[in-house]
């Protein structure tokens, strides 16, 4: 998609959202949160736009601090924000929720959650849950999709497209297409592919800084009221692992977090949303009380408690009030 196409798509999306707000449709959609459902918001990173561009962060992975602050204000005015564990417990017990119930969650445990998100939450007294990758706490760098994006972003567009194609990507934006293709690979295959990418981009320097929270930061946030739950031990895609390794990922993460007084509610967010009946069974056996996916929708008691949907939010779809109020009830964007 060209930049002109992106601008046209954004203009159309915002216009449709504004029409929904003025016509009353957004209000009718919010009325679906009638005590039987909850909107579980899913964020990743909260970063200034310039920093996101510097790090080649995918558009679907961040909101700016300014947008996030506005969204919290909209949440306070239009919704009832509950701790995620309370939403999960009420759904498990089939107990009613307050009208317009919602909860805030973050995946991965990014350092910018402490720098930009936590102060905005604290200023408004709002609860949130961060799903942590236990082995990656305090480590350098980010995750493999970030390396892919940064290496390709450092190349001229045509060269980036050629590299992505050579490594198996379908036509489309180079980084997004290559990441999508590699998510279907086994871990060992993906490591080999990453080595090949590094060989094809030897002059591209990927400077590793610590982008994930460390334990001292996590402890400080926990004391301030942020909940921390499990996002797996290494962020491996659980559906691609032998069952014994998937079980180890789930058990190790829960045990590591509980050893530090975290994961008090035994909640799980599947890495990349990857789950199937076998993974859900393993999560239950590992001691989790509920698990969240990346599937878009409102969570209700009728859902399998190990297959609860969320609403992913990022800058491109939720920067304006109209877009945000279209996105949060869970309708297609």
Closest to 84 in 3D by CA, of 315, 264, 303: 264
126 with 241, same domain? yes
21-41 average pLDDT score:
85
179 with 273, same domain? no
Using a pLDDT cut of 90, give the percent of the chain over it. 80
91 with 228, same domain? yes
Q: Is residue 104 part of a domain?
A: yes
Which of 165, 200, 235 represents a domain boundary (last residue)? 200
158 with 233, same domain? no
7 with 125, same domain? yes
What is the DSSP secondary structure assignment for residue 210, as one 8-state letter?
Answer: B
Strands 227-230 and 62-63: unpaired
| Tokens coding 320 | 């304006």
Environment class of 4 (CB within 10 Å of its CB; exposed 0-12, middle 13-18, buried 19+): exposed
Helix runs in the chain, H state only? 3-23, 25-30, 49-54, 65-78, 84-92, 111-112, 118-124, 144-153, 157-166, 174-182, 187-200, 215-223, 243-258, 277-286, 315-318, 321-327
For 236-265, write each residue's pLDDT tens digit.
999 999 999 999 999 999 999 999 999 999
Give the total number of structural domains in the chain: 2
Environment class of 79 (CB within 10 Å of its CB; exposed 0-12, middle 13-18, buried 19+): buried
Domain membership of residue 36 as a residue range: 3-141+208-327
73 with 194, same domain? no
Decide if 67 contacts 132 (C-beta within 8 A).
no
Is the confidence at residue 25, as pLDDT, over 50? yes
187 with 231, same domain? no
Is the confidence at residue 333, as pLDDT, over 60? no
The enclosing domain of 230 has a CATH number of 3.20.20.370
Which of 166, 181, 200 represents a domain boundary (last residue)? 200
Is the confidence at residue 203, as pLDDT, over 90? no
Decide if 217 contacts 114 (C-beta within 8 A).
yes
Q: Is residue 57 part of a domain?
A: yes
For the ranges 180-189, 239-248, 303-312, the lowest mean pLDDT is seen at 180-189
188 with 231, same domain? no
282 with 150, same domain? no
For 35-71, write each residue's pLDDT tens digit.
999 999 999 999 999 999 999 998 889 999 999 999 9
Is the confidence at residue 330, as pLDDT, over 70? no
Rounded distance, CA 290 to CA 201, Å?
A: 42
258 with 113, same domain? yes
Environment class of 223 (CB within 10 Å of its CB; exposed 0-12, middle 13-18, buried 19+): exposed
Q: Is residue 333 part of a domain?
A: no
186 with 222, same domain? no
Q: Is residue 26 part of a domain?
A: yes
pLDDT category of residue 30 using cuts at 50, 70 and 90: confident
105 with 19, same domain? yes
Decide if 136 contacts 252 (C-beta within 8 A).
no
Q: Is residue 332 part of a domain?
A: no
Residue 24: how many CB atoms within 10 A of its CB?
A: 9
- At residue 223, the pLDDT reads 96
Rounded distance, CA 156 to CA 305, Å?
A: 46
Q: Is residue 287 part of a domain?
A: yes
């Amino acid at each position: 998609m060209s930049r002109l196409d992106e601008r046209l798509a954004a203009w159309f999306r915002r216009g449709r959202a504004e029409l929904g707000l003025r016509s009353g449709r957004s209000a009718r959609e919010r009325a679906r949160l009638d005590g039987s459902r909850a909107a579980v918001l899913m964020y990743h990173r909260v970063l200034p736009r310039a920093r996101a561009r510097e790090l080649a962060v995918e558009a679907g992975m961040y909101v700016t601090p300014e947008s996030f602050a506005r969204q919290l204000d909209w949440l306070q005015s239009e919704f009832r924000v509950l701790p995620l564990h309370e939403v999960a417990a009420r759904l498990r017990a089939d107990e009613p929720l307050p009208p317009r119930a919602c909860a805030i969650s973050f995946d991965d445990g990014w350092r910018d959650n402490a720098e930009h998100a936590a102060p905005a939450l604290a200023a408004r007294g709002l609860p949130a849950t961060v799903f942590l990758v236990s082995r990656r706490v305090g480590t350098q760098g980010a995750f493999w999709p970030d390396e892919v994006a940064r290496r390709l972003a450092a190349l001229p567009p045509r060269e980036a497209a050629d590299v992505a194609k050579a490594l198996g990507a379908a036509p489309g934006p180079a980084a997004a297409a290559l990441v999508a293709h590699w998510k279907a690979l086994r871990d060992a295959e993906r490591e080999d592919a990453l080595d090949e990418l590094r060989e094809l981009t030897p002059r591209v320097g990927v400077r590793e800084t610590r982008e994930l929270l460390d334990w001292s930061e996590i402890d400080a946030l926990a004391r301030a009221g942020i909940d921390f739950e499990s996002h797996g031990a290494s962020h491996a895609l659980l559906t691609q692992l032998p069952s014994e390794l998937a079980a180890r990922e789930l058990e190790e993460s829960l045990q590591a977090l509980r050893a530090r007084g975290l994961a008090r509610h035994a909640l799980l967010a599947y890495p990349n949303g990857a789950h199937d009946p076998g993974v859900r069974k393993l999560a239950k056996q590992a001691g989790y009380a509920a698990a969240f996916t990346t599937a878009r929708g409102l969570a209700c008691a009728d859902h399998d408690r190990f297959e609860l949907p969320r609403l992913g939010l990022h800058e491109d779809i939720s920067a304006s009030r109209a877009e945000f109020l279209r996105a949060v009830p869970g309708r297609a964007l």
